[in-house]
Amino acid sequence: MKLTGRDAQAFFAKPSREAAGVLLYGADAMRVALRREQVIAALIGPEGEAEMRLERIEGADLRRDPAALADAMKAQGFFAGPRVVHVEGAGDAAAPAIAAALEAWQPGDAQLVVTAGQLAPRSPLRKLFEGARHAFAIGIYDDPPSRAEIEAALAAAGVGEVTAEAMEALVHLSRALDPGDFRQTVEKLALYKLDPPGPVTVEDVEAVAPLTVEAHLDALITAVAEGRAADVGLMMQRLAGQGVAPATVLIGATRHFRSLLAVASHPDGAAEGVGRLRPPVYGPRRDRLLRQAQGWGAERAARALQLLIDTDLELRSAGQHAPQMALVERALIRLAMMNRRR
């Protein structure tokens, strides 16, 4: 049986103990591994592996010994409790052995968890699970986690109340990080909030979030907007070392100064303008953006934006021979110096 959407999420939250097994497949090995870990933990509990109620079999081994899987599922463990057999890295060549094990399965036998890479719709392994009445097939895709999934991850880690602004920050972070890094961040957040206790704030999320390329770019643009010209060169070198393109830096700076201009020129004042930004900005970022807009003012923010637009045109010029990163760095230093000349 094929599970998608809400049905798949419901299965991950509470896997059926009446099913013979489940196939988890997808191109991203980390995403598949995290779901496999979640399902196995739900089926056998946190002490299941320590009590030897989990057995692992490599998918390639089933070609040499097809009966090993059925034997493992029928075996009785030393400790009482549900058992799981995990077949890792299964391919279509393992389908006959897995089909025989599913056919022989009876209530009380170990449940089967099979993980695989990307499988085509006509894959024999995928068709086997999708066509079974007592087994499931779930595709794991590269979509960012939904808000409900993030809330479930927070609850599982023991994180209590989360403010609306902090949740928005976590949603944004989940799209910037790979699943493993995001889960580690949630676990760090749970430990961070042990003392002092209380609702999770944006500051708490920022304190435990890893420094991504995006974070380094934000730090550079903040330095420029706050007039810290001496910091620009080192930050540019760091971004260049991470493989960030000059155009990416320029796009980020242009977007930021468009926001500054919109806030500074709002007819009802900067405080009202920052509240009208889309997407909305929360917490310390909001306060920082408001201070920057008030410091620049509409006229100088407009001049800064024009400088960035001119640099972009120069960057795109076919006759440009200067190193592109140096060209962007020079423009950002000019902006930072402009902010210092009040």
Q: Tell me, what's the pLDDT at 206?
A: 79
pLDDT of residue 138: 96
What local confidence, expressed as pLDDT, does residue 279 receive?
Answer: 67
Among the three residues 139, 158, 183, which one is the final residue of a domain in this structure?
139
pLDDT band at residue 281 using 50, 70 and 90 as cut-offs: low
Alpha carbon distance 42, 156 (integer Å): 12
Which CATH number does the domain housing residue 64 bear? Answer: 3.40.50.300
* pLDDT higher at 130 or 207: 130
Considering the domain architecture, whether residues 231 and 327 belong to the same structural domain is answered as: yes
Q: How confident is the model at residue 41 (pLDDT cuts 50, 70, 90)?
A: very high
Cα gap 281→148, rounded to integer Å = 22
Which domain covers residue 156, as residue numbers?
A: 147-208
For 152-206, write each residue's pLDDT tens digit: 889 888 888 898 888 888 887 787 677 878 888 898 898 888 777 788 888 888 7
Residue of 24 and 77 predicted with greater confidence: 24
pLDDT of residue 88: 93
Least confident of 14-23, 140-149, 216-225, 302-311: 140-149
* Averaged pLDDT score across all residues of the chain: 86
Same domain, 44 and 111: yes
* 132 and 155, same domain (yes or no): no
Share of the chain above pLDDT 70, in %: 94
Confidence of residue 330 (pLDDT cuts 50, 70, 90): very high
Query: Residue with structure tokens 């930021």?
Result: 256
pLDDT at position 140, please? 92
The number of domains in the chain is: 3
Q: Are residues 133 and 154 in the same domain?
A: no
Domain boundary among 139, 162, 177: 139
**Can you give the chain as a three-state secondary structure string?**
CEECHHHHHHHHHCCCCCCCEEEEECCCHHHHHHHHHHHHHHHHCCCCCCCCCEEEEECCHHHHCCHHHHHHHHCCCCCCCCCEEEEECCCHHHHHHHHHHHHHCCCCCCEEEEEECCCCCCCHHHHHHHHCCCEEEEECCCCCCCHHHHHHHHHHHCCCCECHHHHHHHHHHHHHCCHHHHHHHHHHHHHHCCCCCCCECHHHHHHHCCCCHHHHHHHHHHHHHCCCHHHHHHHHHHHHHCCCCHHHHHHHHHHHHHHHHHHHCCCCCHHHHHHCCCCCCCHHHHHHHHHHHHHHHHHHHHHHHHHHHHHHHHHHCCCCCCCHHHHHHHHHHHHHHHHHCC
Residues 28 and 180: their CA atoms lie apart, in Å, by: 11
pLDDT above 70 (res 290)? yes
Summarize pLDDT for 78-136 with one digit per residue, the tens: 888 899 999 999 999 999 999 999 999 999 999 999 999 999 999 999 999 999 989 99
Based on the fold, state whether residues 88 and 161 are members of the same structural domain. Answer: no
pLDDT for 211:
64
Whole-number pLDDT of residue 42: 92
The answer on 326 and 275 residing in a single domain is yes
Percentage of the chain modeled with pLDDT above 90: 37
Last residue of a domain, one of 177, 208, 239: 208
Task: Name every residue whose Cβ is closer than 8 Å to that of residue 19 and which is 6 or more positions away in sequence.
Answer: 111, 134, 135, 136
